[in-house]
Amino acid sequence: MSIRKKLEKYIRVYKIFFTAYWKSRLIYKTDFFLGVTSQSINLVFNLAFLTLIFTQVESLQGWTFHEMLLLAGFSGLILNLHHIFGFGLYSLGETYIIEGRLDRYLVRPLNPLFQVYANYISDDNVSKLLVNIGVISYAVFHIETTILTLTNLLYAVLAMASGVMILASIFLAFSSTAFWTARSKAVFWLFFEVSNFRKYPYSIFSTPIQLFLISIIPIAFASFFPVTFFLGRDEWFIWQMLSLIIGPFFYLISYGIWKIGIRNYSSTGS
Amino acid sequence: MGLLSSVIFLILFYFVWFAIDQSGTIEGGFEQVIAYLVAGQIVSNIAFVETEKFMGERVRRGTIVNELKRPLSLMTQTYFHEMAWMLFNFLTKAVPIAIVGVFFFGIDMPNLINGLFFLFSVFLAFNVVFLFAYSTSMLVFWTKVDWSIRMMRSTAQSLFSGVLFPLYLLPDTLNTVFNLLPFQVMVDAPIQIFIMSATGTEIYEILLKQFIWIIILYGLAYLAWKKARAKLTVQGG
C-alpha cells in the first residue's frame, strides 16, 4: 500500500473512532458538563494564585504579571492540545494491558499505538483549551511589546507542533513502563507534579532542576523557551531554535522505548 | 498528595519564593514563608480527607444499602473510615515531611506547648474538612459522579486555606474575606500555632473558631444528608 493510501485509511479510521467516542460520552451528560465546569474552574483558580503572587512583587526576576500569564497560557495550550488527543496512554496499564484490550489491538491490521490514541479524546481539555486561548489573548493585549507579528505567529505554530510532540514523548515513555509493570497511572504523578514548573521562569531554578526540565521531563522546550522568543529575549536564542526541532527527536527515542516494550509484551491472559 | 508530591511541591515553591524575595521584600521574611508552606503540607496531608469517592462508589453500585442497614449512621461510618486514613497519613506522610522540613528546608519546630496544641488543632481541622467534604459529597446522590465534585472542592480548598499561599501576606481586604471562609481554619489556623505566630490566648481563639465551624458544618452536613436520603435511588441491586 502506498503511503498516501495508508494515511487516508488511518484518517478514515480515526474519524470512526472519534464519532464513536463522542456518542458514548454524551450519553452521560451530567458527567460531561460537570467535568468541563470543574476543569475550567480549576484552571481559573490556578491563575488566581498567580495574581496573589503579584500582590507581593512588581515582577518576578524581570517577568511581569502579564508575561507570566502568557507563559502559563501558552504552555497550557500546548498541554491541552496534547491531552485532547494523546491522554489515552495515561491508563495504558490499567485499561489496555490488564484488561487485555491490547491483545485485540495487536491482532488488528492497524498500528496498536494509533488505536490507543484514537480510542480516547480528553474532552475536559477542550474547555481548558478555550480558557487558555482567552488567557493568552488577555496577556498579549496587555504586554507592552508587540507580540502579534508574522514571525511570532509562524514561530508559535512550529513551537506548538514541536511542543505537542515533546509532551507526547513524555507520555509515551512513561506509559511504556507498563509493559513491564502492567501499571501506568502511578508513574504519571511525577509528570503531573513537575508540569507545574512550566508556569514559572526557568531561570529561577537551580542547575540540577534546569537539567531535569530539559532532559527527563523536557517541558521547558514546550513552555519557557518559546515564550522568551515572543518576548524578544535574545539571550535564549539557541534554546528558542532548539525548541522547534527537538520534539520529533524526543518522540523517536520514546517510540523506540515503546517498540522494545511491545516486543517484550506478553498478555496478562485475562 | 503523597510524600514525594509534597517534596516536589516544596522544591518548586522554595524557588518561586526565593525569586520573589530577590525581586522585592516579603513581610516576615523568606524563612517564615518556607516554614508556613512546610507546615501547610504537614497539615494538609493529615487533614485533607476525601469522602466523595467513598460515597460515589457506593451510590453508583448501590452497595450503600449495606451501610444504611447497619445500626450506625452513615456519617459515623464514613467518619471512622476517614479517620483511619488520617492516622495512616499522619505516620506515612506528615512525619516524613516534618523531617524533610527540618533537615532540608531548615525550618524550626514549635516548642512543646505549641506542638501539642498544633496536633489538637490539626485534629479539629480534620473534623472541619471531613464535615465540609461530607456535605459536598451528598451531591453525589444527584450527580452519580464524584471526581468532578471532589476536584472543585479540593481546588477551592487549597487556594483559600493557605496550602498554596500564606494567608498573612494577603492584602487587608482579601484577608478579611478569606478569614470569613471555613477554609481558613482547615490549614492556616493550625499553621499559626506551628510557626509560633500564635501564642497564649491567641491559641484559644483559634481553637474556638475551629469549634464554631465544626458546629456550623455539622448542621450543614446533617441537612444535606436529610435531603440526600429523600433523593436516594438504588441503582440495580
Q: What is the ipTM of this complex?
A: 0.87
- Best of B143, B148, B173 to disrupt the A interface by mutation (most A CBs within 10 Å)? B148
Place of cell 498541554: A79
- Best of B155, B169, B175 to disrupt the A interface by mutation (most A CBs within 10 Å)? B155
Give CA B204 to chain center in angstroms. Answer: 20
Helix B3-23 crosses helix B95-104 at what angle (to 10 degrees)? Answer: 40
CA-nearest residue to B171 within chain A is A55
Grid cell listed for B171: 492584602
> Quick check: B165 and A194 CB within 8 A?
no
A195-204 mean pLDDT: 93
State pLDDT tens for residues A100-157.
889 889 989 899 999 999 999 888 888 889 999 999 999 999 998 888 899 999 999 9
Q: How far is A57 from chain B (nearest CA, A)?
A: 6
Give the per-residue pLDDT at B235.
60
Higher pLDDT, B117 or A99: B117
Contact B209, B122 (CB under 8 A): no
A21-44 mean pLDDT: 82
Interface check A52 vs B, CB under 8 A? yes
Give the per-residue pLDDT at B1.
53
Q: How far is B52 from chain A (nearest CA, A)?
A: 14
Interface check A31 vs B, CB under 8 A? yes
Q: How far is B193 from chain A (nearest CA, A)?
A: 23
Closest partner residue to A189 (CB to CB) among B2, B26, B156 is: B2
CA–CA gap between residue A199 and residue A261 (Å, rounded) = 32
CA-nearest residue to A203 within chain B is B19
- Measured between beta carbons, the chain A residues lying within 8 angstroms of B13 are none
State pLDDT tens for residues A218-228.
999 999 999 99
A219-245 mean pLDDT: 94
- Measured between beta carbons, the chain B residues lying within 8 angstroms of A53 are 16, 20, 165
Grid cell listed for A34: 460537570
Share of residues in chain A with pLDDT > 90 (%): 61
A226-240 mean pLDDT: 94
CA–CA gap between residue A56 and residue B23 (Å, rounded) = 9
C-alpha R_g of chain A: 20
Interface check A207 vs B, CB under 8 A? no
Contact A265, A179 (CB under 8 A): yes
B203-209 mean pLDDT: 95
Interface check B22 vs A, CB under 8 A? yes
Interface check B8 vs A, CB under 8 A? yes
Q: Strand pairing partners for A63?
A: A60
Higher pLDDT, B133 or A190: B133
The CA-based angle A54-A47-A235, given to 5 degrees, is: 65
Q: Is residue A63 within a helix (H) or strand (E), and if so which, with residue range?
A: strand A63-64
Q: How far is A154 from chain B (nearest CA, A)?
A: 31
pLDDT band at B237 (very low <50, low <70, confident <90, very high): very low
